[in-house]
Every structure is written in structure tokens, then in C-alpha cells.
């Protein structure tokens, strides 16, 4: 039972355009969500998070949107850069407590073409 | 500030053997979590330790165990290795405030375990 799903295994975008990565969840107890980026042979690095009391959080080129009623979140990267090419994971936690168990989606491989 | 350090980076073992992986968290972080990454299952939570106590446990068999030392360093052990245990094992640490809130996880580069 996948509680966090990233339905697109890969996404290809032209440099300078917007990248939109999507994530769906099923567990209503999740109320803290995070996005991580992973390069090959490295551990995931934190990108941005959002609490369920918000519907949007922005950090530079990265914006995360949360739609609680649809149990859906998305990560927007604008403008996309070749260095953004990596695997992106969304993760969820039942409370604002990322040190506890995180449930990860399967990841989306983003390729930004120059 | 040094990041999360995992040793070794690569390991090759045969079925039936046991293995111990090591993790040194970021200084000041008392929570250490372990995750398994496989191509088919993605990132799955193994367990979390805080102040030398296992606080959370994922859905893995008892062959997977761990511990945390007083300096917050952690080890995980897998006994009676199976082919399906081949994976990237990631350790992550986080800082927990006095009121129990954890900041984001910081991951190490992982230990790539191959079971032959």
C-alpha cells in the first residue's frame, strides 16, 4: 500500500521553462510534507517543506503547493536549470516532526535540457 | 560543520553473512534514522533512534537491527543476508528541539550493499 505516490517516473523540461513535479498521498494523518533532491551516489538533500496549515511555500526558484482536499502536492521549479537534473522525492510525516518516520514517494527523475 | 558520515561506502557480502553499517550524525543531532533505497521499493524507513533508544520502527524483519551510542553515533546490523537485501542504506540525522520538534533530515551518502 503506497501511501505516497509520484506517478511520473520521469520528466523532461527545456532549460528556462517551468518544471512541475507531482505527488499524491492517501493517509489523512500526514500533515507535514517535504521535497528532497538526489544526485547519483549521494544522499538526498532537503529542498523545501510545507505544513498542512499552509497551501503554498516558496524558496527562491522552488515553490511547493499543497491541496489538502485533493491530497495532492506539487513542486514548481522556475526557471529550470540543467543543474536541477536529479531525482526528486516527496515525503510525508504525520506531524511537524521530520525526525520521525518519513514516508517517501518513488521519485521522479527530472532532466533539464540545455 | 561536518555532514552525516556513513562507512563503508561499498560492501560486498554473500548470502547468509551478516553486516554492520556505521553512521556518524551531524554534531548536536540526537535523532538518527535509517532508510533502505532499492530500485523497486524506493526509500523505505527502517528505524529511528533518539538518545540511545529506538523510537520508531518500520516494517522490516527482525534480521534488521540497530543501536545508538551515547555520542549519537549509530550502527545498523543485518543478519543472515538475503539477495533482496542488496540496496543503498541511508542514514539521516536531525536536530530535535526541547519541545520535541524535529528539523529536516540530513542524509549521508549511503552504504551500497551488494549481496551475492
Nearest to B100 among A46, A97, A105 (CB): A97
For every one of its 114 residues, what pLDDT tens digit does chain A have, with 9 covering 90 and above? Answer: 679 999 999 999 999 999 999 999 999 988 889 999 999 888 999 999 998 889 999 999 999 999 999 999 999 999 999 999 999 999 998 865 555 688 999 999 999 999
Residue numbers in B near A108 (CB within 8 A): none
Of B31, B9, B23, B30, the residue nearest B75 (C-alpha)? B23
Cβ of A105 and B42 within 8 Å? yes
Provide the shortest C-alpha distance from residue B101 to chain A (in Å): 5
Q: What is the pLDDT of residues B70-105, one digit of tens each?
A: 999 999 999 999 999 999 999 999 887 666 666 688
Contact between residue B31 and residue B107 where contact means Cβ atoms under 8 Å apart: no
Q: Mark yes or no for CB contact B42/A97 under 8 Å.
A: no
**Closest-approach residue (CA) in chain A for B31:** A99
Residue range A13-32, pLDDT digits in tens: 999 999 999 999 999 988 88
Which residues from chain A sit within 8 angstroms of residue B104, using beta carbons? 34, 46, 49, 98
Nearest by CB to A43, from B90, B96, B104: name it. B90
State the count of interchain CB pairs (< 8 A) between A and B: 64
Amino acid at each position: 500500500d503506497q501511501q505516497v505516490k509520484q506517478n511520473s517516473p520521469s520528466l523532461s523540461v527545456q532549460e528556462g521553462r517551468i518544471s512541475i513535479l507531482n505527488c499524491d498521498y492517501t493517509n489523512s494523518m500526514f500533515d507535514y510534507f517535504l521535497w528532497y533532491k538526489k544526485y547519483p551516489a549521494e544522499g538526498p538533500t532537503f529542498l523545501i517543506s510545507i505544513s498542512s496549515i499552509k497551501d503554498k511555500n516558496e524558496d527562491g526558484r522552488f515553490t511547493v503547493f499543497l491541496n489538502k482536499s485533493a491530497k495532492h502536492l506539487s513542486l514548481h521549479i522556475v526557471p529550470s536549470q540543467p543543474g536541477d537534473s536529479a531525482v526528486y522525492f516527496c515525503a510525508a510525516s504525520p506531524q511537524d516532526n521530520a525526525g520521525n518516520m518519513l514516508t517517501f514517494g518513488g521519485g521522479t527523475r527530472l532532466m533539464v535540457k540545455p | 560543520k561536518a555532514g552525516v558520515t556513513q562507512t563503508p561506502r561499498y560492501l560486498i557480502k554473500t548470502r547468509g553473512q551478516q553486516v554492520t553499517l556505521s553512521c556518524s550524525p551531524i554534531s548536536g543531532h540526537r535523532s538518527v534514522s535509517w532508510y533502505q533505497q532499492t530500485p523497486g521499493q524506493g526509500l523505505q524507513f527502517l528505524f529511528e533512534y533518539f538518545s540511545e533508544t529506538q523510537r520508531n520502527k518500520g516494517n522490516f524483519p527482525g534480521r534488521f537491527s540497530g543501536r545508538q551510542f551515547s555520542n549519537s553515533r549509530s550502527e545498523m546490523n543485518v543478519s543472515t543476508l538475503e539477495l533482496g537485501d542488496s540496496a543503498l542504506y541511508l542514514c539521516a540525522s536531525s536536530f530535535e528541539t526541547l519541545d520535541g520538534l524535529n528539523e529536516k533530515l540530513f542524509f549521508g551518502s549511503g552504504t551500497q550493499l551488494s549481496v551475492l
